[in-house]
Chain A
């Protein structure tokens, strides 16, 4: 069913109006030797019922967090989303529209993005936010390019405690430029300040993540002070929920804040779509990549919204644009806007407090298991690293047999952490869930296995 409404009779009459004898004639410009004679070898067509059955079958081949107790995180978080979020993003007025090229017929999309920008601005303390990037990783990469352009310098310092995906994507984006990425080593799970101090001369920017990949709070005041004394600019990658209880990036001197907004009401969805956000100071507004919505008046003085500063963008500036981004994550940004609006300032704070206290409770419970300890001594948010007396892969495998996914193996991303797991709590977890992780772990470790 190709979703074509015209009937055979329509087609004949339309061809007559065109003056063509057949549809084939309309393709006369396609050279004969290029015409696909053979049928494309793909399955289908499937009737709707067959399709749904097929998709359900595929879905059944996956295991979701339902029926297991999952402590997976590491950048993509399983959040509890109010039902209204999906119902708003499911309105055809939003999801079947496109980029608001005609402002007068797109005020709904425009105002919602303006509200998104305002929410990002309030969370980060930086007044100039854009309409979204693909994900937190590409937002960080774009921030590096932006900083190199502002400072006209060719060195960027990136802390090794940032999300590995952020570093991988940044490396790809900067790979063909002359910009050199210098990775700052870790010290006790946080950015090594001595290495930072040494790396600063000649650097355009420093990228830190707070809380970092291990869930730890970085010494951001000290980092902000050091970077502030240099010519470099501070880029902070932040967890938006944490900002309800932590200092805003602006408060510790970051000039660009980026982050991953999936945790604001979007499903984990095998990692996509995600939601990158990005904000900066008024001074650097014209350097921002991507779309920006601005308030304006119409010809009769009525308040409305338009896409503004479009001259930065690829459709006008072409090869000199601040970025090549066109399509962004609009609908996901709308979802985040609805989510934040529903939670409100107090709700977000309550959520952040809960994530903080559940992580603390879980860490204490796990550290109470004989042989298990916290790998790092710093305070943390949402997630933390435990060191086991056995190989993490084995522990993970054994726990999954009893329906518990204890977290991420740090060895996938860091050397010397074979026995470490990154454990992430969610607002979904009950005390029983966390207790079952601790007791399950204790039971498995006591059976001996590897050590």
Chain B
């Protein structure tokens, strides 16, 4: 049985093997000590229904992790309950709704840039709002004039990713937030790209009212082949009362006989989004990571993440179309339009060919505003040698696209399976096997 899973394991690309530069996913090294400490019996073995006095270490850890995240982001309070980023977005949007409802204000729309992650409009819809898109300007940033035209008394919030999915910082962010606030709306930050800003700039200082974090991206918790993640939500003081219940809290006077407690007495709370307190073991890993790095270390993460991205961008710019020029932040987006138009090689083909070079492909066809997009985020934990190897592969593929395009369009050839027939998979659905036969 173990052999079966070990054989499956061999068929996976993973961070420990080579660069995994999925844009906006922040595939950084997962420190092993974090795995070890999260597995301590005193953490992994605590039942959530124990009396508070028997879980002081667990609640204290949650409380302090919340404080660390608040300090890092400039927010006032943080709930760790959302088990993933998208869940954090939902919490954020429900708090937007609660805030306006409390003011007797029935607002209907949430504005989202056209470069946003798909979870943004999906979360907006789940919270009962309509999405309005605001177009990006020619520099890849939000077109502030268009935003001004779109924002009105019906606008409940604006969701912004900064740096955005093109890897550019919204230089006019304060003006944008002012426009939002003047209309009585709230400013929400999608923190998927926080890796670029650690210790550099705080979203709370820029005026954001709400944001979510991704502990499995920025704070090194592993991605686990798709999860578990953790998507804490931070807010400014005027929204604290809406955070999900219960909230890890501290009573230094120890009225109940102990210092840390889960606060259920939150009448204005939007409710619960997780059956218990959220993904506690993921929080433990992020907590350990932050303590390991300290304030200077966090800043060095951002600096090196941005340096690595710019280095790769500089190496690749001569070979691929770079639609948005200038220094990037933690990631950048190339376009394979040149390869497609001149040689019939699409971004998808380039992605598949990269697998033959033993590296993972970037995120492709996203953001939607770039044709044949290749969105590359190397992260700070890649060495220069690793970046050079990836660049060499990309440059070799650019050359192959000109000389032997069939090599690229026929890729991959070195993986356990060749290119999969996804159309057939969707037409002739096979989503489970009823008999117990296992295929090797």
Contacts and interface: CB of A to CB of B under 8 A. Distances in A.
Contact of A105 (B128, B326, B381, B415): B415
Interface in B166-188: 168-169, 171, 173-174
A269 interface: yes
Contacts of B169: 27, 29-30
Contacts of A87: 2
Contacts of A308: 422, 425-426, 429, 431
B226 A330 contact: yes
Given A76-B47, A267-B44, A270-B48, A96 B310 contact: no
A329 interface: yes
Given A45-B293, A299-B418, A330-B225, A135 B274 contact: yes
B123 to A, nearest CB: 4
B200 A35 contact: yes
A331 B227 contact: yes
B381 A273 contact: no
Interface in A164-184: 165-166, 168-169, 171-173, 175-177
Interface string A79-105: 000001011101111111111111111
Contact of B292 (A48, A127, A273, A341): A48
B300 interface: yes
Interface stretch (A51-59, A197-205, A227-235, A440-448): A51-59
Contact of B418 (A43, A285, A298, A327): A298
A285 B275 contact: no
B352 A102 contact: yes
Contacts of B48: 76, 268, 270-271
A129 interface: yes
A71 to B, nearest CB: 10
A145 B173 CA distance: 36
A46 interface: yes
A299 B50 contact: no
Contacts of A285: 429, 431
A274 B127 contact: no
Nearest to B220: A3
Interface string A100-135: 111111111101111101101110000111011011
Contacts of B438: 115
A306 interface: yes
Interface stretch (A216-224, A313-321, A349-357, A360-368): A313-321
Most interface-central of A40, A100, A169, A172 (chain B CB within 10 A):
A40
Contact of A135 (B31, B50, B83, B355): B83
Given A1-B297, A88-B5, A309-B426, A303 B439 contact: yes
B85 A306 contact: no
A55 B40 contact: yes
A210 B315 CA distance: 59
Interface stretch (A15-23, A240-248, A373-381): A15-23
Contact of B276 (A274, A297, A329): A274
Contacts of B126: 145, 173, 176, 323-324
Interface string A1-42: 111111000110111011110010111111101111001111
B271 interface: yes
B376 interface: no
Contact of A314 (B22, B122, B439): B122
Contacts of A273: 83, 227-228, 279-282
A168 B58 contact: no
B300 A2 contact: yes
B143 interface: no
Contact of B29 (A3, A6, A52): A3
A185 interface: no
Contact of B57 (A1, A58, A65, A95): A58
B190 to A, nearest CB: 12
B298 A51 contact: no
Contact of B200 (A30, A44, A145, A321): A30
A34 B61 CA distance: 30
B345 interface: no
B412 interface: yes
Contacts of A303: 417, 439
B418 A41 contact: no
A238 to B, nearest CB: 15
A3 B380 contact: yes
Contacts of B381: 3-5
Contact of B227 (A42, A105, A132, A345): A132
A4 B47 CA distance: 36
Nearest to B2: A84
Given A92-B16, A93-B10, A175-B270, A36 B205 contact: yes
Contact of B131 (A94, A318, A323, A330): A318
Given A51-B288, A308-B426, A17 B314 contact: yes
B122 A324 contact: yes
Contacts of A268: 44-48
Contacts of A46: 291-292, 294
B425 A306 contact: yes
A342 interface: yes
26 contacts: A18-B311, A18-B327, A23-B303, A23-B306, A26-B327, A27-B169, A39-B199, A59-B40, A61-B42, A94-B14, A97-B15, A97-B224, A108-B12, A134-B87, A163-B275, A172-B244, A173-B126, A260-B275, A270-B58, A272-B282, A295-B433, A318-B131, A321-B125, A326-B85, A329-B224, A332-B228
Given A55-B43, A74-B49, A138-B87, 10 more contacts: A19-B314, A23-B307, A44-B294, A63-B46, A93-B16, A134-B84, A138-B274, A272-B228, A315-B366, A332-B228
The 7 closest A-B pairs by CB, nearest first: A59-B42, A271-B276, A44-B294, A61-B57, A330-B226, A331-B224, A45-B294
